[in-house]
Amino acid sequence: MRKIVAALLLSVALLCLPLGGRGEEIDLSPTAAPTAEPEPAADPTPVAVAPLLEAPPFQCECAAMLLMEADTGQIIFEMNADSPRPVASITKVMTILLTLEALDQGRLKADDVVAVSPEAAGMGGSQVLLDAGERQSVSTLLKCAIVGSANDAAVALAEAMYGSEAACADAMNRRAEQLGMANTHFVNCTGLPAEGQQTTARDVAVMSRRMFAHPAYFDYSAVWMEDIDHGDGRITQLVNTNKLIKLYDGCDGGKTGSTGEAGYCVTATARRGGMRLIAVVLGASEGKQRFAIARQMFDYGFANYRLYPVAQRGTRVKGQLPVTGGAADGVTLALDGDLTLLIPKGGEQAVTLTPELPETLPAPVTAGQAVGRVVVRLNGREVAGIPVVAREDVAARGLAPGLRRLWEHWLAVG
């Protein structure tokens, strides 16, 4: 008897379901993109890996270079970007990044006082002339590392974070792996010559982009000249090694480095009109030359490119997507992501949006359910995809309430 009742109930349920069919053609193009330029995101994901240009637009005498837009992570052009090489004090970008992250995480505080070890005080190369036993705040040590590229300050910070420079180097390598810096290996935290220590222009840009994403970094990076009080009546003077702070309008940060094996290097950033660029120059033959090349790179980027806000999360997609077997005939859709592209100035018409969606969706549909995507192309080349989601729930069309209760009761007692 139970089997007969169950069969009757199932027959009724099937009769209540509509037949699937092809929905009418509807307009699924996204609404107009916003026109205001957004502030750069703090920790964005690169939109595309391939550079916009196949080769640099001018000749430069250096071993490697790369120009990146910081918000999108888009590379404008590059040269020998994946060739491993020593980069001298550019290594300190990772030391500084780990310090900034430790401050964000509360593992360090800016006013924590660090006692300088004999190992830190004995570092050669560029330094702020710290004495063994001298006590300085984390904030002061960070300023010395950023502004003056001080090796002694960098080692003092490494020891404050990890107990030793060797342990800090291990942490630097772990962080590099997390960031996808596949051609980088650190041996120390200063960039002093060491066998096996190497990185690339691309990896330098990656870690620089992370460093520049910390607002606290810019509290120090634009300092041009400052006295450091060693607490015993002795005063030494910091002078910013990044001359672009004075030489280039909009430059507010960067890191220099130079040794005999590395040549002259710089990773610098400049911001104009809401767009931030990162220029990496490695292996120049003279100090002035690296700055001249970086200036030329910045000039080209700012003159020829702009940020174009393509879409905002929550933007409604026009029309409805048909739903089969649902309490409603269709569901409205929305974009589930933000997207800003770096494009040539005047190249807005080269950006196209093409929906990739099914003809229908089977009920039930849940708000936020992924249903497809919008493909974004620049000059016909796919550069990104924006997920499309349902904006509301659509319940399945099922049994009448009385029959549903009977069916649920039957299942419970059966």
Rounded CA separation 220/208 (Å): 15
**78 and 159 co-located in one domain:** yes
Number of structural domains in the chain? 2
pLDDT of 21 over the 80 cut = no
**136 and 268 co-located in one domain:** yes
Sign of CA pseudo-dihedral 78, 81, 87, 89 = positive
Catalytic residue among 89, 117, 126, 208: 89
Residue 341 CA: distances (Å) to CA of 22, 46, 76, 257, 269: 35, 10, 12, 32, 19
Cβ 403 vs Cβ 9: under 8 Å:
yes
Q: Among residues 269, 287, 305, which one ends one of the domains?
A: 305
Determine which of 6-10, 155-159, 335-339 has the lowest per-residue pLDDT on average. 6-10
Catalytic residue among 117, 126, 149, 221: 149
- The CATH number of residue 209's host domain is 3.40.710.10
Locus of tokens 């020829």 = 304
**How many CB atoms lie under 10 A from the CB of residue 362?**
13
Rounded CA separation 151/166 (Å): 14
In a domain, 395, yes or no: no
Give the tens place of pLDDT for each residue, 292-335. Answer: 999 999 999 999 999 999 989 999 988 899 999 999 999 999 99
In a domain, 150, yes or no: yes
State yes or no: is 109 an active-site residue. no
- The CATH number of residue 318's host domain is 2.60.410.10
What pLDDT shows up at residue 96? 98
**Mean pLDDT, the chain, as a whole number?**
86
Rounded CA separation 111/379 (Å): 51
Query: To which H or E segment does residue 302 belong?
Result: helix 287-304
* DSSP, residue by residue, 205-247: HHHHHHHHT-GGGHHHHT--EEEEE-SSS-EEEEE-S-THHHH
Give the domain range for residue 30.
Answer: 18-34+312-390
pLDDT tier, 391 (very low <50, low <70, confident <90, very high otherwise): very high
State yes or no: is 139 an active-site residue. no
Locus of tokens 């180097």 = 169
Single-letter amino acid code for the residue at 167: A
Render the burial of 131-148: b for 16+ CB within 10 Å, e for the rest. Answer: eeebebebbbbbbbbbbb
Catalytic residue among 92, 143, 243, 255: 92
**233 and 382 co-located in one domain:** no
State yes or no: is 149 an active-site residue. yes
pLDDT tier, 23 (very low <50, low <70, confident <90, very high otherwise): very low
Which stretches within 136-200 are classed as H helix?
138-148, 151-162, 165-178
Give the tens place of pLDDT for each residue, 136-178. Answer: 999 999 999 999 999 999 999 999 999 999 999 999 999 999 9
Rounded CA separation 227/237 (Å): 4
What pLDDT shows up at residue 289? 97
